[in-house]
Every structure is written in C-alpha cells, then in structure tokens.
Amino acid sequence: MGQRVAGMESKSGAVMLSTPVTSLAGVGPTRAQHLGDLGVNTLGELLEYFPRTYQHETEERAINQLDPGPIQTARGKVIAVDYIATRPRPRFEATLDDGTGILACVWFNGSYLRKSIHPGLMIRVKGKVGSFKNIPQMTNPKWGAIDEAAEAITEAQFRPIYPASAKLPSEVIQKIIEPNLEAAVANIEEWFPQSLLDRRGLMPRHDAYRTIHRPSNLHQALKARRRIVYDELMLMQLGLGISKQLRDGRLTAPVLRVDKLLDQRIRGRFPFELTEAQTSAIWEILTDLQAARPMNRLLQGDVGSGKTVVALYAMLTAVANKLQAALLAPTEVLAEQHYLTLSRLLGDSGVCVELYTSRTKRESKGSLMRALSDGKVHIAVGTQALIAQDVEFANLGLVVVDEQHKLGVRQRAVLKGKGLSPHYLVMTATPIPRTLALSYFADFDLSTIDHLPPGRQPIKTRWIPSKQAATAYEFVRGQIKAGRQAYLVLPQIDDTGLDDAKSVKTEFDKLSKGPLNGLRLAMLHGRMTTEEKHATMTAFRAGTVDVLIATTVIEVGIDVANATVMVIDNAEQFGLSQLHQLRGRVGRGSELSYCILIGDPQGDIARERLTVMTQSNNGFEIAERDLQLRGPGEFFGTRQHGLPEFKLADITQEMELLQQAKDDALALLGEDPHLRQPAHAKLRAALRAMFGDTLPLAQVG
C-alpha cells in the first residue's frame, strides 16, 4: 500500500501542502470528514495541527520513589500471589519487586486474576499509592503484562498529544500525521537568512515543523515551537509595518494650522481646566494634524478619563481649519449622548453640530444631508452608518471613532473609495495591554490618558452572593431616598428557559412588585425601538426614572452624573473588562459611587474575576488580568478586527519574542521596504497568504 502511494507520487510529482487529506495514506472518507470537523482539509492544515502538549510514553517510577497519594505507574516482577476468599470481599494479592523495593497490589473480587497473574511475570501497574504495614500498596490498580523485548524500542518515546475530538482521539491524529510528515515538511521553505536564525537561536523552518510533531524531548519540542511562534509574530509585524508604510507614503491628509490663540479659544470652551494627561494627548494629536499624512491614533484612557473632551479639541481644530469632523459612536443611544454633550459645550458658538441617526426625521433628512454636503454642518455625529452609506461630506478632515476598534480598517477603505483620507482618531476605554499594543495595534500611534480628572473618588465595589441580593436592593432604596439614581444590569433581555441567567423583563416585574416597589423603574435593552430607547434615556437623564434596569446596552458612554449605584446581577456571566466598563457608568459626578456585584461564580477563574473587581479601580490592571484570564483572541474578537488569529502564539506569554520579532521586522523593512528583493519572495508570498486583502497588501510586489 505504502509503496503504491509512493509510486503515484513520483508520477504526479510531489505531494503539496494544498493536497487534500483525502488523498493521503490512511485517510478514508470518514476520517477525512472527522478531520474536516477539526478544520483540517489539506496536508498543510494537517501539518499545522500542532500538538497541545507532550507526554512520556511511560512515566514509571521506581518502587522506592513512589509517593503516597497520587496515581502513579510502576513495574516489577511478580514474586508472590495469593487469593483470599473471605466474604464479603474476596481479594487477589500480588507482590511486585523491581529491585528498588516491594509493592503490594490488591484487587478486590479479583478471583479472575488467578489465571493471568503468576509469579515470574513482569507487569506494569497504575493506581493510587497507599501504604500497608510500611509497604507501598496499590488497590485495584490497572495492570498489563510487559513484553520487555518490544518495550526496549519504544520506552524512551516522547509522544505528542493533539487537541482531539470524540471521533478523532489524539493517537489517531498522530497515526495520520506520522506517515505524511516527511512529505509535508519537504514543502516547508526557509524565509529568513541564516544570519538572522543564528542571531536569534532559531532552528530551520522545516526542522521546526518536523520536530514539533516528533520531538525527542521537551527541550526540542519547545525550540521547535519557539521558531514557529517567531514566524507568526514576525509575519504579523511585517504585515502591519508594510501597511503603515503604504499609508504613510501614499496618502496625503489636510495639513492643519494651530496657534496659541486657537488653543486659548478652544480651552475656553470647557468649564474646567484640562488635565496634564489630556494636554499631552492633545499635543500628540496636534503634531499629527499638522503633518500631511493621515493621523492614525488610538486614544486610550479609562472610562471617565476625559477622552471625549480631547476628541472635541481635535474636532474644533479641524473646524477652525474649515474642515468637517465626524464623530462615530457604536450605537444610536451613544451617538445621541455625544450629540447632547457637544451641543451643551458648543451651544453659544458658531459651530454647527448635527445628529445623524435613523431617528433623524424624514422631512429634515434631505436638508440635513444637504447641509453636510454643502459644508454647513461642521461636526456630524452618528453611528458608522454615517460613513458607510452614500453620504457626501464637503470637506471631511477628521474622523473620531468611539469605542470601536473593529471599525477602523473597513471604514477607512470606504472613505478611501470616496477619495477621502481624513485624519483618524480612535478612542477606547479598553486599555490596550502592552503585548497587544505591540502586535494588533502596531499600526496605530498611541496616546494614553493615564490620570483621571481631579476630584474623582474610587468606586466602592462589593461582591455579594445572590442569596444576599436583598441587601443590594435596600442599598439602592437608600441612595434613591438621598436623591440619587441607580442602574441594574442583567445578562439578557428575556428568560430563555435554557439557563438560570436572570433577565431584564423578569427582574423588572419581580422588583417592581417586590424589593423596589414604589420606585420609578424603567427598562433599557436592545430590542426596544430607537424611539423607546431615546424616551427612556431622556427620562433617566431628567431624573424622572430612579432605576434603569438594563442589558449591557449601557456599557459605554452613557453619562448621568447623578447615578451613583451600579448593580450587576449574575455578575459571573460578564467578562472582566466588561464589568469594569459597566462600573464606569457611575462615579461621574462628585458624589461617592458604588458598584455591587451579585453572583455565585463557579470555578476559580470566575471567582477571580469578581475578586479583581473588588480590588482594583484601575482599567489597565484589570485589562492585563483579563487578558491573562481569557487569552487575547477573545479579548478583542480579532476575527471581527479583520486581522488573522495566531495558530500557536499566545502573545500574553511571548512578550520577549514579540519584541524581537518587531525589531527584526523593522530592520528587514528598513533594508527592503516592500520585500521586493528576490531573497524575500517566499516571505512576501506568505504575507499575502496570511493577510489576504484585509490590509492593503495587494499592492505588495
């Protein structure tokens, strides 16, 4: 069989990474389907189906090394057997000797063993180790006879453990990969010069692919893994670097003029002094706006740190330069909130701010659109729909995107299609941990507001189990009596009946009849119409609603200074960063604010999340913890981000390698900015394959 396949190969040329698994030795239609379920359809995908960990084939211990307690494996020659027939639990006993000591084995109801275990036999036993009369003992161990001649060959084997499915256990996956490994590895080409590999201590690429599946020891396995991770990180850094170059080199953005008088006029608009942190972020932004290449800046700062004010400064700078600015929020409710904030601050100025949402009245819509294309509107506030549709701007100079890391790439493409290349400012309250800043966001310049405006007090946070929920409601009543307002957040809108999670509608009914009876309650959730949401928010802002019972629609941006309590029920169902975002809805005024988490987390990670919340008010710390607890893919929803996910790299753990890859990528691009040198052709092809057309790499080569 093997020979026939080999013969076919030589006729049709070598097996390629794109060869479907169905034409591999040992893979029939059923296995192919099971592999397909694991996302493996080609030889290349099989090769990149990496082991999750490794195991020694045998993890035996010498008998005198056995520890009482855990399950262990030992072997020895049977030196005595006995069968004790006493009722009610007859037992079979065997004594093993391995030269270091004696191990007693007992099998209850083991009469059947009399036929198979006898003195002189070499057996392996696996079980919990106890002790009886100072002799180690295993009770009902698993056992097997040892064929010593066969063992000698495999004993040292170090076995890969693959992420398995019920239908494809790890051993089967190994059996499929093993005979195809050499043919697959033959297709792996080196990307980097030997000098680089030497400098970074990296093994050749094809060796790494072979060794990761078939290492002789853990050290080799880790070396192989390191090489493959390096390649992933390096490719990412190169892709981002090239994309940045293309943007920097080819696009021109309007050059804005800034002077002291303008600075004073803008600052004068705010009813407070800007903080030092805000001022330095503004300085960085202004430096970008005065250059002819489009700004691509991420403004990060904890909730309530004053990002919106910084963004407004930038927008007013654009307006003063006779350019339009657009402020894009993730939802209509938030767009409205921004619109109100800007209108309040700019009320008596000549700056024209308009809100563009689906609520914009049909009769006024036409004229509003015209005002935008005429340039009469200076600042347009809306959701991303504002840019996605065929809306015309007269002279768009700056786009500010709030809380939507996902938005950037696609939106920029749309604008580019319209012949526009405005400056870009993305605001985020989800602090980007350093590792992510170096990878996913290598494309952005980063400004950080690292201090809150003065006078803020930390939000007092407590976590209580659900059986004490009554105390939370009492506390809410007390605050409302004192003239404050509260939020209550729940994980879902309706009871699904599928789980125990509480819902907005059920809790609204229950609380209005029970613990919060007599208070003015309102619901806010994503299935309400925009009109209803708008009416509810307006009432809450006006103080005619005491408690807003909501889903996470209130997660970002809602700003009601009089709300001082945030109660999050079923808190164990939320992610850590999400909890922090939700908590940030309170503590916006001068009053002391509170966050009460109600939840009964199962398991250490869930408990850890709630504990972290009670210990820290610092978004950065929380984001780092979140990243550790969750892993980066989920943290950012990278899929939606349009960036590829790593197969192997866990960038929370590879800080040093990531930094090396970044340095090496920059050096390489410094030498060959567009990777056009023949020596880099393979690398360029790999980049294309990795990024597809999500980044402007089509222009490479």
Residue numbers of the site for ligand ADP (CB under 6 A)? 272-275, 278, 301, 303-309, 429, 453, 559, 588
- Cβ distance to ligand ADP smaller for residue 113 or 309: 309
Q: Which does 184 bind (CB under 5 to 8 A by kind): Mg ion, ligand ADP, none?
A: none
We find the least distance from the C-beta atom of residue 570 to Mg ion, in angstroms, to be 25
Q: Which does 278 bind (CB under 5 to 8 A by kind): Mg ion, ligand ADP, none?
A: ligand ADP
C-alpha span between 481 and 555 (Å, rounded): 25
| CA dihedral (148, 154, 157, 160) positive or negative | negative
C-alpha span between 295 and 303 (Å, rounded): 23
Residue 331 is a binding residue for Mg ion (CB under 5 A): no
Amino acid letter, 472: A
- Cβ distance to ligand ADP smaller for residue 342 or 489: 342
Q: Which does 559 bind (CB under 5 to 8 A by kind): Mg ion, ligand ADP, none?
A: ligand ADP
Closest-approach residue to Mg ion (CB)? 308
Q: Output the six-digit token pair for 444.
A: 């952005």
- Cβ distance to ligand ADP smaller for residue 372 or 429: 429
Q: Which does 47 bind (CB under 5 to 8 A by kind): Mg ion, ligand ADP, none?
A: none
Q: Which does 453 bind (CB under 5 to 8 A by kind): ligand ADP, Mg ion, none?
A: ligand ADP
Q: Which does 588 bind (CB under 5 to 8 A by kind): Mg ion, ligand ADP, none?
A: ligand ADP
- Cβ distance to Mg ion smaller for residue 338 or 625: 338
We find the least distance from the C-beta atom of residue 407 to ligand ADP, in angstroms, to be 16
We find the least distance from the C-beta atom of residue 305 to ligand ADP, in angstroms, to be 4
Query: x/- binding map, residues 518-557, to Mg ion, per CB under 5 A?
Result: ---------------------------------------x
- Cβ distance to ligand ADP smaller for residue 384 or 573: 384
We find the least distance from the C-beta atom of residue 404 to Mg ion, in angstroms, to be 12
We find the least distance from the C-beta atom of residue 585 to ligand ADP, in angstroms, to be 10
- Cβ distance to ligand ADP smaller for residue 583 or 680: 583
Q: Which does 113 bind (CB under 5 to 8 A by kind): ligand ADP, Mg ion, none?
A: none
Q: Which residues contact 445 (CB under 8 A, 6 or more apart)?
A: 284, 288, 295, 296, 297, 298
Tell me whether the omega of the peptide bond preceding residue 68 falls within 30 degrees of 0, making it cis.
Answer: no
C-alpha span between 506 and 498 (Å, rounded): 15
Cβ proximity of 422 and 294 under 8 Å: yes
CA proximity to 139, closest of 165, 185, 108: 108
We find the least distance from the C-beta atom of residue 308 to Mg ion, in angstroms, to be 5
- Neighbouring-strand partners of residue 541: none
Count of positions (residues) in the chain: 701
Q: Which residues contact 538 (CB under 8 A, 6 or more apart)?
A: none
| CA dihedral (588, 589, 592, 598) positive or negative | negative
Instruction: Count the site residues for Mg ion by CB under 5 A.
Output: 2
We find the least distance from the C-beta atom of residue 453 to ligand ADP, in angstroms, to be 3
- Cβ distance to ligand ADP smaller for residue 237 or 308: 308
- Cβ distance to ligand ADP smaller for residue 305 or 617: 305
- Give the ranges where 186-217 is alpha helix by DSSP (H): 194-200, 205-213
We find the least distance from the C-beta atom of residue 399 to ligand ADP, in angstroms, to be 16
Exposure of 95 in the CB half-sphere (CA atoms within 13 A): 9
C-alpha span between 541 and 558 (Å, rounded): 10
Stretch that binds Mg ion, among 302-310, 340-348, 603-611, 631-639 (CB under 5 A): 302-310
Q: With left for phi above 0 and alpha for psi between -120 and 50, is residue 512 left, alpha or beta?
A: alpha
CA proximity to 63, closest of 13, 19, 32, 104: 104
For the chain, helix (H) and strand (E) counts, in that order, are 26, 21
Cβ proximity of 96 and 78 under 8 Å: yes
We find the least distance from the C-beta atom of residue 642 to ligand ADP, in angstroms, to be 25
Other C-beta atoms closer than 10 Å to the C-beta of 155 total 12
Residue 243 is a binding residue for Mg ion (CB under 5 A): no
- Cβ distance to Mg ion smaller for residue 110 or 557: 557
Alpha carbon distances (Å) from 408 to 152, 443, 560, 641 = 60, 11, 28, 8
C-alpha span between 275 and 281 (Å, rounded): 10
Q: Which does 274 bind (CB under 5 to 8 A by kind): ligand ADP, Mg ion, none?
A: ligand ADP
We find the least distance from the C-beta atom of residue 337 to ligand ADP, in angstroms, to be 9
We find the least distance from the C-beta atom of residue 269 to ligand ADP, in angstroms, to be 12
- Cβ distance to Mg ion smaller for residue 308 or 536: 308
- Cβ distance to ligand ADP smaller for residue 183 or 316: 316
DSSP state of 458: P
We find the least distance from the C-beta atom of residue 343 to ligand ADP, in angstroms, to be 14
We find the least distance from the C-beta atom of residue 451 to ligand ADP, in angstroms, to be 10
- Cβ distance to ligand ADP smaller for residue 383 or 439: 383
* 3-class state of residue 330 by DSSP: coil
We find the least distance from the C-beta atom of residue 191 to Mg ion, in angstroms, to be 43
- Give the ranges where 132-204 is alpha helix by DSSP (H): 148-154, 170-185, 194-200
Residue 308 is a binding residue for Mg ion (CB under 5 A): yes
DSSP state of 204: P
Q: Rounded to 5 degrees, what are φ and ψ at 564?
A: -120, -5
Binding to Mg ion in span 416-475, by CB under 5 A: none
- Cβ distance to ligand ADP smaller for residue 480 or 556: 556
Q: Which residues contact 294 (CB under 8 A, 6 or more apart)?
A: 247, 251, 252, 253, 421, 422, 423, 424
Q: Rounded to 5 degrees, what are φ and ψ at 268?
A: -65, -20
Binding to Mg ion in span 46-75, by CB under 5 A: none
CA proximity to 327, closest of 271, 404, 258, 409: 404
Amino acid letter, 388: A
- Cβ distance to Mg ion smaller for residue 300 or 308: 308
Q: Which secondary-structure segment (H or E) carries 530?
A: helix 530-542
Interacting residues toward Mg ion by CB under 5 A: 308, 557
